[in-house]
Structure 1
Amino acid sequence: MAWLCRSLSLLLSTAVAGSLFLSGLPKAAYGAVPAVGTHAQASALIDVESGRLLHSSQGDKQLRIASLTKIMTAIVAIEDGQLTDVVTTSKRAYAREGSSIYLQLGEKMTLLNLLYGLMLRSGNDAATAIAEHVGGSEEGFVQLMNNKAELIGLRHTQFRNPHGLDAEGHYSSANDLARLTAYALRNPIFSDIVRTKVKTAPNPNDEWDYMWHNKNKMLSMYEGADGVKTGYTKLAFRCLVSSATRNGQRLAAVTINDGDDWADHRKLLDWGFQHYPLVSIADKGQAIAAYTLAAGNSFRYPLAESEKGELKSTLILEEAMTTRYKLGYRGSLEWSIGETRIGTVPVYDAGSVRLQLPERRPLTLAALHHSDSPRFFADSLMDAMRALFR
């Protein structure tokens, strides 16, 4: 559906209490953010909430990724499987080489517990059992993995198996892994699994339960660490994705082929928290100066001090005769740094019942790259129906 919009670029330099200021931040007298380096062949750092890549070095280079593959295996299983399902270990899973949680042939375990074994101990047997159960076969599950990669927008990723053992045509990139991790960490089940240091699970083969200790040393050695996955093969070398949360901001770091990854991840995360803190740009319900309108969502974005003076916004007003206007949508606020758009939120009448509805994630830069914002029409329709039938 096409519609006409009127665009007003508002650059305000004075403040009025209680109003939403579209680019009211003064020009900051700061230089560029200093670069950060690692020992990795490729690296990336992402802000999980916004999806903004804060650092990238050889970020689109297609490389072997070892068990970082299991990030995709886990999120596909969580989204497409039933966590209470009981999975039976096949001969193929039982015999899988490499790291293992030592499942026995025919052993039964819930999908949820297999996911803990997958992510804490990097069990290749668990990966195979999960794939066969959720995908019908290992090959069927790999197709689900590649479909998910395409859906998320991972352009430098292709999977050949669910565990990450070296295979021709099985690769990803640091940037893609950062985006995948940000996507996965927004799922509370995935997030809970990867932050777990120790997990016990019933063991039908012995008198004692399984006890799995997470291989990710960052959970113990870095303040605020809460994920994600280690990896190693003879061809991929040491690979690591870590995440940490401080002051309400969550970052995820990626290194591929890095002989000093624990130190490099501490450095990357420290650098990100120091130089790109989350800034609250808009609050839901906040009035827009000179209009009887309000922001439909809050919006936070990681900004360097030197970028704050470059922050601009555009108010795009909906024409009154459109369907979306009749459903209560009054337009959108779009923010940019220089010429780069970073996010947008819907705008409603200041007294609209839609401001009382649950908050939506703002459409951010990553989404803007893959969409002309058709989501707003569907959201407008759903929100209007909720408002009508409250």
Structure 2
Amino acid sequence: MKKLYIKRSFVFILIIMILFTNFYRSKALAGSTAPWPKCPSIKAKNAVVMDLATGTVLVSKNATKKWYPASTTKVMTAMLAIEKAKSLDEMVEFTKEAINVSEPGSSSIGMTPGEKLPLRECLYGLMLASANEVANAIAIHTAGSIEDFADMMNEKAEALGCVNTHFTNPSGLYEKDHYTCPEDLAKIAREAIKLDDFREIAGTRTHVIPETNLMKEKRPVSNTNQLFNPVKLPQHGYEYCYAGKTGYTNEARFNLVSFSKKGAMDVVCVIMNAESADVQYTNTKKLVDYAFKRFRMLQTDKIPLKLNESGGKTYISILENDPSAEFTVSGTAALVVPKKCDINGVVTEIKENNLTAIKVGKNYIGSVEYKYGGECIGSADIVYTSSKAYSFEKSEMISESLPEENKEKRLNYFAVGMIVVSVLVILGLVWYLLIYRRPSNMARRRYRRKKRRINSRNRLKW
């Protein structure tokens, strides 16, 4: 009997430990995890799909591995030319240097020294026909020399947060020190597509460059990205692709930047080091379809700010002056998350601005960063709109508010303690009734049944 009691007690304690372990594990998982979708199998060596709205990397393969970008470099060249130009009607003159720097047999629209073209027409030749002499002419026109333009490219890349990028020329022709990686190239493409002129030019299928001062014939050009301009390879047409840039050299192999949109989702896919044109197109479609299938957009207003838990000096001071204050978010209207994402798994990290006064109208009191499964999925500014201007002394407000906060924490600890004690009492009663008392109760019942049988036999004998 004693051995049976010990065994049952041991089994009961083991079951309780397992239940508590699973309970806390499920609570932790509910707070942060539903796994981030993994990259499907592809043949290209390096790739990334990035959400354009938030900059979130959705799927990737060797996303930060350095590689030669070939003519996808021209995405950066076009963006800088547009940003630095006073007008796209500026005339660009083609010098001997611009033409001679290009390798014989490389992509070209046949410009000759002394020809002049408006910058806008040069950009069509750059992005659609991938003309290398046009890239050189744009660089010299914008920065004065190819070397100075390369410095501008590297400064811009650094400003965009690129960490594995270094440019030495505007065309992408092979040089050992001219490299980037899929994630950095996606950051560059994300910034470029924000420019209306870039979006229009990169999304043009065909264009006719007009005659110049030296050439009386027009030059028709066609976008080489077969996903949205499937002229040479119709089997690779992709209905969701609306812009892009190809790139190829013997050293870099096939590289591709493609912009695709479906519903509320707008993404850029970068493929690097693919063994063939077929691979770069099929891999792009596979990755983008996967992203559209496995991710969705989540509105930021669905996620509570929880300023009452993490709010600091500014938040407390504003509420003291305006108890009915409302706080909203601006910037990113939506976040991209896995489709199976539990909204409770989105974690917010709030950073407050160091304010001492409030003005009439919008006040940016801080920012919020959204994370899911350890991945940053977006950020936004926290806005407080006030109908009056006022200043506040933060030290006073904090000193007054601390006792209340501590009191609230003590109340929380007390509530948790009461719950724990209640659970322990219930478990103790269950243990006492089902385990400790069970052996003696069973023995008592067996004794009673045996006694009844004996009495029954005695009555029959009598």
TM-score by length of 2: 0.65
- 1:104 aligned to 103, 106, 112, which one? 112
Whether 2:207 is the aligned partner of 1:199: answer yes
8 Å Cα contact 1:44-1:255 kept in structure 2: yes
Q: Which amino acid aligns with 1:90?
A: T
In the alignment, the residues of structure 1 paired with residue 130 and residue 357 of structure 2 have an alpha-carbon distance, to the nearest angstrom, of 48
In structure 1, how many angstroms separate the alpha carbons of the residues matched to 2:154 and 2:371? 32
Counterpart residue type for residue 119 of structure 2: L
**RCO (CA 8 Å, sep 6+): is it higher in 1 or 2?**
1
The question of 1:60 aligning with 2:93 is answered no
Equivalent position of 2:341 in the other structure: 307
Matched, 1:45 2:49: yes
Residue matched to 1:323: 356
Tell me the residue number matched to 2:93: 88
2:224 matched residue in structure 1: 215
Partner of 1:70: 74
Q: 1:132 to 1:57 in 2, by over 3 A?
A: same
Instruction: Give the residue type in structure 2 aligned to 1:345.
Output: A
Partner of 1:145: 153
When structure 1 is superposed on structure 2, of 139-148 and 199-208 the one drifting more is 199-208
Quick one: distance in 2 between partners of 1:162 and 1:34? 34
The question of whether the paired residues in 2 share the 8 Å contact of 1:28 and 1:306 is answered with: no
**Partners of 2:292 and 2:111 in 1: how far apart?**
40
Deviation per residue, 1:277-296 (Å, 9 max, x gap): 2222228xx99999631314
Partner of 1:122: 130
Match of 1:294 among 327, 332, 340: 327
1:35 aligned partner = 39
Aligned equivalent of 1:363: none
Quick one: distance in 2 between partners of 1:318 and 1:43?
A: 37
Give the secondary structure class of the aligned counterpart of 1:78.
Answer: helix
The alpha-carbon distance between structure 1 residues 183 and 29, as it changes in their structure 2 partners (threshold 3 A), is closer
Q: Which residue of 1 aligns with 2:181?
A: 173
Query: Residue 152 of structure 1: CA displacement?
Result: 0.9
Give unmatched runs, 5+ long, in structure 2: 1-29, 230-236, 309-322, 389-462
Q: How many residues align?
A: 326
1:257 alignment partner, SS class:
strand
What whole-Å deviation, never above 9, does each CA across 1:174-202 have from its counterpart, x for those lacking one?
11111111111111111111110011221
| Percent of pairs with identical residues | 30
- TM-score, length of structure 1 as denominator length: 0.76
> Could you list the per-position Cα deviations for residues 216-243 of structure 1 after superposition, in whole angstroms to 9, with x for gaps in the alignment?
1111411121221101111111111111
| Change in 2 beyond 3 A, CA 1:291/1:304 | farther
Deviates more, 1:218-227 or 1:292-301: 292-301
* Structure 2 equivalent of residue 244 of structure 1: 260
In structure 2, the partner of 1:187 is 195
Question: Residue 28 of structure 1: CA displacement?
Answer: 11
Looking at structure 2, the residues matched to 47 and 293 of structure 1 have their Cα atoms a distance apart, in angstroms, of: 30
Greater Cα shift, 157-166 or 205-214: 205-214
Asked whether the 8 Å contact 1:28–1:307 carries over to 2, the reply is: no
- 2:452 equivalent in structure 1: none
The aligned residue for residue 369 of structure 1 is: none
Structure 1 gap ranges (5+):
1-25, 354-390
What secondary structure does 1:92 align onto? helix
- Give the alignment of 1:243-262 within 5 angstroms: 243-258=259-274, 259=276, 260-262=279-281
Letter in 2 for 1:323: T
Q: Secondary structure at the match of 2:300?
A: strand
2:299 aligned with 1:280, yes or no?
yes
Question: Quick one: distance in 2 between partners of 1:253 and 1:195?
Answer: 15
CA distance in 2, matches of 1:287, 1:174: 36
The one-letter amino acid of 1:109's match is L
Give, as a single letter, the amino acid of the residue that structure 1 aligns with 2:72: L
CA distance in 2, matches of 1:311, 1:287: 12
CA distance in 1, matches of 2:287, 2:82: 29
Distance 1:318 1:39, change over 3 A: closer
1:264 pairs with one of 263, 270, 283: 283
Shift in Å, 1:245: 1.2
- Is the alpha carbon distance of 1:292 and 1:254 closer, same or farther for their aligned partners in structure 2, counting shifts above 3 Å? same
Q: Contact (CA 8 Å) 1:202, 1:210: kept in 2 or not?
A: yes
User: 1-side partners of 2:46 and 2:60: how far apart?
Assistant: 8
Hey, what's the Cα distance between the residues in 1 that align with 2:61 and 2:135? Answer: 30
Q: 1:317: Cα distance to partner?
A: 6.2
CA contact (8 A) 2:298 2:337 kept: yes
Corresponding residue of 1:344: 379
Distance in 1, Cα, partners of 2:191 & 2:107: 26
CA distance in 2, matches of 1:163, 1:202: 22
RMSD: 2.9
Query: Which protein shows a greater Rg?
Result: 2
Q: Distance in 2 between matches of 1:243 and 1:288?
A: 37
Residues in 1 aligned to 2:75 and 2:357: alpha-carbon distance in whole angstroms: 38
Distance 2:157 2:372 in 1: 28
Structure 1 contact 28–305 (Cα < 8 Å) conserved: no
In 2, the alpha carbon distance for the partners of 1:343 and 1:32 equals 15
